[in-house]
Amino acid sequence: MTWLEGKTRNPKRPGARLRELLDRPEILGVPGAHNALAGLLAKEQGFECLYVSGGGVTLTLGLPDLGIMGLDELSFITRMLSRATDLPLIVDGDVGYGGTLNAMRTVQELEMAGAAAVHIEDQMLPKKCGHLNDKRLVPASEAAAKIAAAKKSSSDLVIIARTDAAGVEGLEGAIERSKIYKDAGADVVFPDGLPTEDDFRRYADELPGWKMANMTEFGRSPHFTAEEFQSMGYDIVIWPATSARVEGYACRDLYTHIKDTGGTAGFEDRMMTRVELYKAIGYHDFESLDESVAASVVPEHTGDDTTARLAGE
């Protein structure tokens, strides 16, 4: 069944579903999905929750992650992912797109778009990726006011307070700010950019309740597995912009190949086939909803290097 039929969606609200996942004893692993196809492929692999990264989405827009993406653009991607996958979504709300009132609108718009959780950070605009240098923070009281307002504005969302203080005020600053944000109503706390295992462990020891960790590549934090983060005391781990990075790497190889050879022959073994893509998006399920549309037959492949793979389809 497809989302067009209106009876396929889980009747439970996204925030409630996310809370059920967080109540499990094992850590919740959440890959980033920068568009609906990426979300469907993650769901196909068994993931039960997805992350919508501000950095990942801005990459698809050809923009840097400096807080210049609009709320409407983020809401559109969130809506696409929600309707395509019907999975709980943890959405990067940056700094709330402005002041306290803006944070409240951000929560409302993203909740209506299908989000299960939104995190708001304590940087000033223009903000930076949490793993970069010279970030500027708002006072903790101002960030706490946004968290309290976000909580008040939400009817179901899980509110996550992200702090970027570790790279500015040190680990102590990140811990103290997170305690203030919890007191303001945050359901989950999220320290970004911690550089060592000891820092992750000490933060977790100091903060009761749900905690989220960021396992981005090429950043300040070493590589840890989901199981390692669980042993440190974390309840969620995200891989935020990985899908966008992998897509960019693959597309660069593709365009180099076309430029060098004048076509795509010989590159098919690095593509999803038409059959695989149609299966991922439920092409024939959509097609069957309209009797006037003839059932499509996938053309028989005429190449040589992917014949064996196609024969199995």
Distance CA 289, CA 74 (A): 30
Residue 131 one-letter amino acid: H
Would you state the pLDDT for residue 28?
A: 98
Please, what is the end-to-end C-alpha distance for the chain in angstroms?
21
The single-letter DSSP state of residue 244 is H
Please report where in the chains the tokens 């709300």 appear, as a residue. Answer: 93
**Number of helices followed by number of strands (H, E) in the chain:** 13, 8
pLDDT band at 290 (very low <50, low <70, confident <90, very high): confident
Would you state the pLDDT for residue 130?
A: 75
pLDDT at 203 over 90: yes
What would the mean pLDDT of 117-129 be, rounded to a whole number? Answer: 89
What would the mean pLDDT of 74-88 be, rounded to a whole number? Answer: 97
List, for residues 37-54, the tens digit of each pLDDT value: 999 999 999 999 999 999
pLDDT at 311 over 80: no
Helix, strand, coil share of the chain (percent; to 5) = 45, 10, 40
CB of 172 within 8 A of CB of 165?
no
The candidate with the shortest Cα–Cα distance to 86, out of 18, 20, 156, is: 18
Would you state the pLDDT for residue 15?
A: 97
Task: Count CB neighbours of 284 within 10 A.
Answer: 12
pLDDT at 306 over 50: no
Distance CA 115, CA 87 (A): 9
List, for residues 165-180, the tens digit of each pLDDT value: 999 999 999 999 999 9
Distance CA 82, CA 90 (A): 11
What percent of the chain is modeled with pLDDT above 90?
A: 80
pTM for the predicted model, two decimal places: 0.93
Query: What integer best gives the mean pLDDT of the chain?
Result: 92
CATH for the 3-246 domain, from 1.20.1250.40, 3.40.50.970, 3.40.50.2300, 3.20.20.60:
3.20.20.60
Distance CA 204, CA 189 (A): 10
The structural domains of the chain, with segments of one domain joined by +, span: 3-246, 268-311
Strand order in the sheet with 210-214: 28-31, 236-239, 210-214, 188-191, 158-163, 117-121, 89-92, 50-52
Would you state the pLDDT for residue 303?
A: 53
pLDDT at 307 over 60: no
List, for residues 236-273, the tens digit of each pLDDT value: 999 999 999 999 999 999 999 999 999 999 999 999 99
